[in-house]
Amino acid sequence: MQKLRDIDVPESGTLPKLTAPRVERRQAPAPRRRMRLLPRYLQLALDLLVLVSAFLIAYLLRFDFVIPGRYIWRGSIQLPFVVLIQLLALGLAGVYAYIWCFVGMAEVKAFLIAAVLSVIPLTILRFLMHGSFELLQVPFSIILADTILAFGGVLGLRIVRRVHYEKFTKGQQLAACGDVREEAVLLIGAGSAGVQAASEIKGRGNIRITIKGFIDDDPRKQRSVVQKIKVLGTTADLHRLVKELAIDHVIISIARKVRDGDIRRIVELCESIPIRVRIIPSLDEILHGNVEINHIRDVRIEDLLGREPVELDLQDMRNFLTAKSVMVTGAGGSIGSELARQVARFGPSKLLLVERSEPALFNIDRELSARWSELDIVPLIADVCDRERLQSVFATYEPQVILHAAAHKHVPMMERNPAEAIKNNVLGTLTLGEVAGESEAEVFVLISTDKAVRPTSVMGASKRVAELVLQHLDSRFGTRFVAVRFGNVIGSAGSVIPIFQDQIRHGGPVTVTHPDMVRYFMTIPEAAQLVLQAGTMSEGGEIFVLDMGVPVSILDLAKDTISLSGLRPYYDIDIKFSGIRPGEKLFEELETNGENMTKTRHPKIFIGKIACYPEQQVRLAVERLALLARKGQEYELRCFLSELLPESTLEGLRAKPELASSLEMMEALSTPISLIETFGDACLSPAA
């Protein structure tokens, strides 16, 4: 450590005066000016000025600007009377609740109502007042002219204020952006979404975009003008217009994803030009508050799927979730976290986030608490197999709706760890379900998978057994136990799209297991919404199957992912085939033999009624699975799953075992094995 140097003390005995080094302070940037709202008294004064002026102008127009002397006196008597009625009408119509600079078409109705409310009493009094009140009889022509001028004037004041506010705001945004080059763009789609996007872009100074025109394939819109922007042609003219107008990129402004693949067709057309293509957010993203209409983004894989937005029965959803204590297990995972977001929209009394992973739980808790600060959100670190912990949670918070998303779901990983698949997916479901039933919860919804249909993997078989367990629980308790089956979701943890994107970032190659591999896909929000909607329809024991649409080729998905990254498949990024992994099959199914698929009131949700296994068989099967999982007898575990599920074709077996062997052993058990004694608390429940 460096020694402090000695300080020379002068003869006077006083220390020299020490001075601090001079620090230059940076001048703080001037605060950005904000346009103030008009005070209430000033708003009222301006309205009074307009109303008085309108009445005087109406009289002048009535008498060709030469008012007879006796009518001047009558008008001066009528003026305060008429203005008072008009002010009362404006107040009753709610006009004074509006902020002037935000008045738009939606508020015009209130001004029309106020006009009618003022005309009715003035007209009635015109015919009823006689004698000494005759001076208050306003001529009908003046009533009409005054009403048009007065209420048109007060509305006009607010429109002028809004125009001034928008110019002021845009000027500040332009100043904040500096000298950023404006980009010339074409909007594809001159419908409602395109009009709204154009209006927002033109009104925002922080979006440096110049709209050169609209492109729309509707022949009725050709040569028309929308928001002072011309419709220049159809998509067939896109190549020519891009060259002529020096377009930087095009923006897809289609409000809904259409079934005939318009978005995919437009993307492929833009790639052939080539020109960069972007898209406005979907209506679903805007409604859920994730983005604004002017938040233009690059096209994503989910835009190319052509999935229709989900239409929910909002009243059923409110009855199902509002003011209820709702538990979501696996709340830090892809599906669990989205379920929690969707539930939060409907205002539950409590939202219990059950998760084993501390970082995942921290992230979703922080996100939800920031977006819905008024909600009672309870983060709970817990394993779904820990009966004592679950009993404590249920006793404390009394959840009424349980959404069980915690699961091991990675097929090749579970092929290597079959005992863990059984512990979490089967025994965890049983433990959580029993605690829910004992606590008299209302509804228990299990997130299942299309891999449970004629399973070829341990993961799929474990989810099929979990469905059987759920039907067994439904017969034991008053709680409504249901399962919801669906396929893959875009962007979930461990799914193919993030893997492709990571491979592209590292320069490739992109690996696909087989050129003929196909899968069902839906977006995470769509899956979560349909799960909740299915929960509202449950009576108990159903297995709901979601409409997954058309299977998607994984090879095409890989090509699309490469193309949307601005690269060319096989040229910039190679695609290689790695071979089908253990437990995988070329295509997935959503229904099994013996299921009676019936429609529900929702077009995207079906019910598969499956014959239940006998209660004794399910109970003994679960105990046998618990014993094999505890002992780590993986081959015997696969054999038993194959026996229990005759429709399954699990890998790793030398031959399909005879069904009687292990089942006879189960029947021979004289004393039932307690799950807790057999298995203990060793099972885990990671994020879904």
For the residues of 152-199, what is the DSSP string, one character each?
Answer: HHHHHHHHHHHHHHHHHHHHHHHHHH-SPPPEEEEEE--SHHHHHHHH
In whole angstroms, give the CA distance from residue 213 to residue 46: 39
Query: Which structure tokens are listed for 17?
Result: 């005066």
Cis bond leading into 274, ω under 30°? yes
pLDDT for 568 equals: 80
Cβ neighbours of residue 307 closer than 8 Å, sequence gap 6 or more: 257, 522, 523, 526, 549
For the chain, percent of residues with pLDDT exceeding 90: 23
State whether residue 635 is helix, strand or coil.
helix
pLDDT for 2 equals: 41
Among 137, 119, 118, 121, smallest CA distance to 129 is for 137
Query: Which pLDDT band holds residue 205 (cuts at 50, 70, 90)?
Result: low
Q: What share of the chain is helix, strand, coil (3-state, %, to 5)?
A: 50, 15, 40
Q: Which residue type occupies 2? A: Q
Query: Which structure tokens are listed for 278?
Result: 């972007």
CA triple 57-61-63, angle to 5 deg: 120
Q: 418 burial class (0-12, 13-18, 19+ CB within 10 angstroms)? A: buried
CA 117 to chain centre: 42
The stretch 191-212 carries a mean pLDDT of: 74
pTM strictly above 0.85: no
Residue 31 has pLDDT above 70, yes or no: no
Residue 6 has pLDDT above 70, yes or no: no
CA 677 to chain centre: 44
Residue 672 has pLDDT above 50, yes or no: no
The stretch 644-665 carries a mean pLDDT of: 62
More confident residue, 422 or 647: 422
In whole angstroms, give the CA distance from residue 606 to residue 102: 45
Contact 286, 293 (CB under 8 A): yes
Scored b (16 or more CB within 10 A) or e, 493-531 reads bebbbeebbebbeeebebbbbbeebbbbbbbbbbbbbbb
Contact 480, 320 (CB under 8 A): no
Residue 622 has pLDDT above 60, yes or no: yes
The stretch 290-313 carries a mean pLDDT of: 65
Query: Which structure tokens are listed for 11?
Result: 């003869």
Lowest mean pLDDT among 225-229, 620-624, 628-632: 225-229
The stretch 405-417 carries a mean pLDDT of: 89
Could you read off the pLDDT of 314-350 as tens digits, one per residue? 788 888 999 999 999 999 988 899 999 999 989 999 9
Which sign does the torsion angle of CA 456, 459, 462, 468 carry? negative
Could you read off the pLDDT of 343-368 as tens digits, one per residue? 998 999 999 999 999 999 999 999 99
For strands 518-519 and 552-553, give the pairing.
antiparallel
Residue 146 has pLDDT above 50, yes or no: yes
pLDDT for 557 equals: 82
pLDDT for 524 equals: 83
Helix (H) / strand (E) element for 605: namely strand 605-609
Residue 197 has pLDDT above 90, yes or no: no
Domains 183-299 and 314-609 share a fold: yes
The stretch 182-188 carries a mean pLDDT of: 85
Residue 391 has pLDDT above 60, yes or no: yes
pLDDT for 465 equals: 92
Query: Which pLDDT band holds residue 666 (cuts at 50, 70, 90)?
Result: very low
Cβ neighbours of residue 418 closer than 8 Å, sequence gap 6 or more: 458, 629, 634, 637, 638
Query: Which pLDDT band holds residue 660 (cuts at 50, 70, 90)?
Result: very low
Domain boundaries, the chain: 40-174, 183-299, 314-609
- The verdict on domain 314-609 having CATH code 3.40.50.720 is yes
Query: Which pLDDT band holds residue 26 (cuts at 50, 70, 90)?
Result: very low
Query: Which structure tokens are listed for 675?
Result: 């799950």
Q: Which residue has the tokens 């002021």?
A: 168
State whether residue 249 is helix, strand or coil.
strand
> CA separation (Å) from 425 to 252, 289, 312, 416, 568?
42, 34, 29, 15, 41
Residue 284 has pLDDT above 60, yes or no: no
In whole angstroms, give the CA distance from residue 331 to residue 333: 6
Could you read off the pLDDT of 511-558 as tens digits, one per residue? 988 888 887 777 788 888 888 988 888 888 888 888 777 777 888 888
Query: Which structure tokens are listed for 136?
Result: 């208050």
In whole angstroms, give the CA distance from residue 326 to residue 475: 23
Could you read off the pLDDT of 482-507 as tens digits, one per residue? 999 887 777 666 677 778 888 888 88
CATH for 183-299 is 3.40.50.720
Q: What is the rounded average pLDDT for all residues in the chain?
A: 79
Q: Which residues are catalytic?
A: 451
Phi, psi dihedral angles at 522 (to 5 degrees): -145, 165
Query: Which structure tokens are listed for 532?
Result: 């909740």
Among 548, 550, 546, 549, smallest CA distance to 531 is for 546
Scored b (16 or more CB within 10 A) or e, 56-85 reads ebbbeebeeeeeeeeeeebbeebbeebbeb
